[in-house]
Chain A
Amino acid sequence: MDFLRPTTWEEALAAKADQPEAVPIQGGTDVMVEINFDVRRPVALLDLNQVRELHDVELVDGVQRVGAGVPYVRVIEELGGALPGLAQASRTVGSPQIRNRASVGGNLGAASPAGDSHPPLLAGDAVIEVESRDRGVRLIPAADFYLGVKRSALEPDELIRAFRMKPAEGPQYFSKVGTRNAMVIAVCSFAVALHPSERRVGTGIGSAAPTPRRALEAEAFMAAELDWDARLDPAVLKRFGELCAQAASPIDDVRGTADYRRHALAVMARRTLTWAWNDYRKARAA
């Protein structure tokens, strides 16, 4: 097995272009487990830990640009104000040791439907910045990034550079059901983000379909029915929950049943929207 250790982003892109089958590795919390369990035997590993650019967090033209290698612990500590939904999701990833190593970039690279960071990325309209030596930068909206179970829009010669996301202009919440109170893979998860300037509610569903996905009908329903100047209509709230549940296509597996996942999504959708709405109303009243 080749072990490639680029020290700059250019070197990393060159290595990936020359050897597209090389598997990028950063924290190793996913790749190393798969190797350990013999799930995959990569021909080459591309170690990105020395590529400093991947650890940058910057505000570019009012958009937060977060390097693919920024570990969850930094998302929690540094981005709780700007990206609260993602910070909440980061807080639920694994254990403290895992959060010190694992990154949103890794979550995107693995593209597992159960990845905790996906729902807030979807709800918050994140854009994934990928790059190749030969074709340069591509900006892929999160909603177009996930193609199938552990399949993404990333081309073999591309690496994930960063994700970009506007700082929250309204309340955001993330909620995840697991059968343990910590260190648990999602049975299903949900993220909501209010975009008051657009009078829009963003959503993200995790672990309840072959890919993370938005609840598009629920978003359209809210765009049409939500009165941004009133209290939350219980009928609208209920319908929102139903539409979020309907947006999923869950399966029965060892972690939970499809029925339960749909039910839980409806509950989480109602609760997170209520919390967000209450925060929004409180902020407006203040």
Chain B
Amino acid sequence: MRGTPEVITAPGVGGVGDSPPRPDGTLKVTGEFAYASDLWIDGMLWGATLRSPHPRARIVSIDTTEALAQPGVHAVLTHEDVPGRRHYGLDHTWDQPVLAIGEVRHQGEPIALVAADHPETARRALARIAIEWEVLEPLTDARRAAFDPSYPQVQERPNPARHQPVRVGDVEAARRLAEVVVSGTFEVGIQDQAFLGPESGLAVPAEDGGVDLYVATQWMHNDLKQIGPCLGLTEEKIRMTLSGVGGAFGGREDLSMQIHAAMLAMRTGRPVKMVYDRRESFFGHVHRHPAEMRYEYGALSTGEILYADVEILLDGGAYTSATLNVVGNAASLGVGPYEIPNVSIDAYGVYTNNPPCGAMRGFGAVQACFAYESMMDKLAAACGIDPVEIRQINAASQGTRLATGQVLWAPLPMAEMLEQARTLPLPAPLDATDIRNLPGGASQTTHGEGVRRGVGYGVGLKNICFSEGYDDYSTARVSLEVIGGEATALVHTAAAEVGQGLVTVEAQIARTELGIERVVIHPADNQVGDAGSSSASRQTYMTGGAVKAACEAVRERLFERLDHDDLALAGGKIVSASAGVIASIEEVLGDDVIEETREYHHEPTTGMDKESGQGDSHTQLALCVHRAVVDVDVELGLVKVVELAAVQDVGRIINRLSLEGQIHGGSAQGLGLAVMEEIVVRDGVVRNPSFTDYLIPTIQDMPPMRLEILENADPRAPYGLRGAGEPPTLSSTPAIVAAIRDATGLALTRVPVRPEHITGR
């Protein structure tokens, strides 16, 4: 067997605050890292999935005889072969069929599975599955889905999937007092996570009738909650191991090939590998919800906002996935980090036959942020006030009551952060002598003609960890023993390293808490308790918190062996404050193994009131400020982002290198949404399911960044840290679009901004 994860024996060096390089870094750069797509076991079969070409159709009949008769084909399965429950889904909304039952509700919906000796044989067998279709007109109008009761239902659950209002004060009364009123309708296209490692995994049938699953996923225990019942297996019969994950960004929170591969393995009694190709990957996971957002703000001429009247419409596609929580985020963070006394927000998530949408980095807050930041610029212009100043006038700070009534009890120096962003030195003026500096780059669309520079700002507020009453705890098991004469800690969690650098952070925490050098990381699997999802910027907080707690417990057990009450661990020694060094850890531990498992829970949150949206629904909120500088070729509508500067408060830097990577990456993903990334859909059909036409930023598109990282501790969080991966994804998009507006004078109400939006044709 190849490609299965091994114990990481050298996960960097140093403790909390150091910046050790990542153990997977060199391997990834040199192409040696084992991703889930590299999994291999002798005798394995290859699985393939037949997907719907239609966004909405009835399946009159399926005939698999011919496919099954192909030499080398070992199984062809449909929904009739699902051993257990035939639907799965996140949370409690099990509305997604494992395989389509009588109808399809989106293009790419899985219908049948094939296992064959060779992937090409499997692929060709798919073409021999005969389906008689009754093609129906797709339901793709999100607005009608939300508001027109006569619009047909997409699935059993009625529209809207969720409507979440937020009500504060009296918008009608405030409207009469407003001296300046601005309004706008904003749109966000469908963004894809575009992770580079496609969905893949290996299912190996086990002697006990269960299955061993090796998959690239974000949250093994939540996968298991769905996989088990669908396979008709208890969770103990499913051994799940995380394999090499090539990026996630929310796109692996829903199941992809897990149940399918396991079904094929259980049917054939052979290991089955499944790997999606790039095209299939675009249909194999949910995307970011597209949004249409109507905003109206009223203010005094001094710039002080009196009210916000907001409607946010999110299209979730055919199945629920994470739509309910995405709507919750869009509602609670609908006006962002601003003090607005009178607020009316209505956020809706609907079912349509458009591509299914769910979790993606920023999770409902990204869409709203583009709208509310665009509104801040609009208001600034209407009041004749500088865009930074208008944000400072209305900025939230520690003690501010958000629209949900939740009080920001941790430090939030937003006005100061904006000032910092503004006063950072600006990049040098355009050097047009090298065309690579210009919009279009080496494609040589300009030598400087038509190029104008613009500057814009964006601020985003993101909830960290799960919200609305969810107890998304994490579990860590830490053992300490002497190996080869050296005290060694083994850290075991189910938390998914998806490329963010979590294993390095886990080791740093163990070193700091146990005062030792050698830490090894066990592969993530389900032989330890739930770690929650690698999403919501939460793993350093939650699994970091769990590792810290488990280490503390191990430390206590060690100290119990000595008759002192003022002990600490440092440099491999047990040190008493009064008596100095007492012994080495190795001496005290001897041949024993101390093992402790701890769960870490964040401060509980409440739900949002169904009518008013009020509630302490978030456990932590994190802020990022961006300043973007762009050069725009106004005649051709091409954009070169010259510089992105970010000011982010992370509470405490655990690993600066990884942190900077998160801010760079989040900013790049926001840049993609601003100027190029969109899944283009017509009548429910995706028109660009490839990296040829779904463009993501290259190194020629992503500019150098200036980072200012603040450390205002959150006293509730481990080490005072704040989750950091998502906030920059929110704020970079509106900052870049604001800069393009500054350069062009155009309104630009939709992202991604396309060349024809700038040229007007």
> Interface of A with B (CB < 8 Å)?
36-38, 88, 91-92, 173-185, 187, 254-257, 259-260, 263-264, 267-268, 271, 275
Given A180-B676, A182-B441, A271-B446 in contact, is the A260-B701 Cβ separation under 8 Å?
no
> Could you say which residues of chain B place their CB within 8 Å of the CB of A260?
637, 755-756, 759, 761
User: Is the CB–CB distance between B443 and A181 below 8 Å?
Assistant: yes
Nearest opposing residue in chain A for B449, CB measure: A271
Binds A, one of B211-219, B283-291, B524-532, B687-695: B687-695
Q: How far is the CA of A268 from the CA of B446 in the complex (A)?
A: 8
User: Is the CB–CB distance between B445 and A176 below 8 Å?
Assistant: yes
User: Is the CB–CB distance between A182 and B701 below 8 Å?
Assistant: yes
User: Is the CB–CB distance between A177 and B445 below 8 Å?
Assistant: yes
> Could you say which residues of chain A place their CB within 8 Å of the CB of B389?
none
Q: How far is the CB of B383 from chain A (nearest CB, A)?
A: 34
User: Is the CB–CB distance between A177 and B688 below 8 Å?
Assistant: no
* Residue B589, interface by CB 8 Å: no
User: Is the CB–CB distance between A176 and B444 below 8 Å?
Assistant: yes
Q: Mark B735-761, 1 if CB is under 8 A from A, else 0.
A: 000000000000000000011100101
* Residue B680, interface by CB 8 Å: yes
Nearest opposing residue in chain A for B279, CB measure: A37
* Residue B697, interface by CB 8 Å: yes
Within B618-653, which residues are at the interface with A (CB < 8 Å)? 635-638, 640
> Could you say which residues of chain B place their CB within 8 Å of the CB of A268?
445, 636
Q: Mark B698-715, 1 if CB is under 8 A from A, else 0.
A: 111100000000000000
Nearest opposing residue in chain B for A262, CB measure: B761
Q: Number of B residues whose C-beta is below 8 Å from A? A: 37
Q: How far is the CB of A1 from chain B (nearest CB, A)?
A: 11
* Residue B442, interface by CB 8 Å: yes
Within B428-484, which residues are at the interface with A (CB < 8 Å)? 439-447, 449-450
Q: A264-B755, A267-B445 are in contact. List 7 more A-B contacts (CB 8 A).
A: A37-B277, A175-B440, A175-B443, A180-B697, A181-B638, A263-B759, A271-B445
B761's contact among A91, A185, A187, A263, by CB below 8 Å, is which? Answer: A263
Given A182-B442, A182-B701, A271-B449 in contact, is the A256-B277 Cβ separation under 8 Å?
no
What are 17 A-B contacts defined by CB distance under 8 Å? A38-B123, A88-B444, A92-B444, A173-B444, A176-B443, A180-B700, A181-B441, A182-B700, A184-B443, A254-B687, A260-B756, A260-B759, A267-B445, A267-B450, A268-B445, A271-B445, A275-B447
Q: How far is the CA of A257 from the CA of B761 in the complex (A)?
A: 8
4 tightest CB-CB pairs across the interface, nearest first? Answer: A182-B700, A181-B441, A176-B443, A181-B700
Q: How far is the CB of A279 from chain B (nearest CB, A)?
A: 11
> Could you say which residues of chain B place their CB within 8 Å of the CB of A37?
277, 279
> Could you say which residues of chain A place their CB within 8 Å of the CB of B279?
37
User: Is the CB–CB distance between B447 and A178 below 8 Å?
Assistant: no
User: Is the CB–CB distance between A183 and B698 below 8 Å?
Assistant: yes
Q: How far is the CB of A43 from chain B (nearest CB, A)?
A: 15
Given A180-B698, A182-B698 in contact, is the A36-B277 Cβ separation under 8 Å?
yes
User: Is the CB–CB distance between A179 and B688 below 8 Å?
Assistant: no
Given A180-B676, A256-B756, A264-B755 in contact, is the A92-B695 Cβ separation under 8 Å?
no
User: Is the CB–CB distance between B443 and A177 below 8 Å?
Assistant: yes
Q: How far is the CA of A185 from the CA of B694 in the complex (A)?
A: 11
Given A179-B676, A260-B755, A263-B759 in contact, is the A255-B444 Cβ separation under 8 Å?
no
Nearest opposing residue in chain A for B690, CB measure: A37
Q: Mark B668-698, 1 if CB is under 8 A from A, else 0.
A: 0000000110001000000110001101011
> Could you say which residues of chain B place their CB within 8 Å of the CB of A264?
636, 755, 759
User: Is the CB–CB distance between B761 and A259 below 8 Å?
Assistant: yes
B638's contact among A173, A177, A183, A275, by CB below 8 Å, is which? Answer: A177
Nearest opposing residue in chain A for B701, CB measure: A181
Nearest opposing residue in chain B for A91, CB measure: B442
Given A37-B279, A254-B687, A268-B445 in contact, is the A177-B755 Cβ separation under 8 Å?
yes
Residue of B277, B688, B701 contacting most chain A CB atoms (<10 Å): B701
Q: How far is the CA of A174 from the CA of B761 in the complex (A)?
A: 23
Given A38-B123, A267-B635, A271-B447 in contact, is the A254-B693 Cβ separation under 8 Å?
yes
Residue of A92, A181, A187 contacting most chain B CB atoms (<10 Å): A181
Q: How far is the CA of A268 from the CA of B264 in the complex (A)?
A: 55
Given A181-B701, A264-B755 in contact, is the A175-B442 Cβ separation under 8 Å?
no
Q: How far is the CB of B30 from chain A (nearest CB, A)?
A: 15
Within B220-269, which residues are at the interface with A (CB < 8 Å)? none
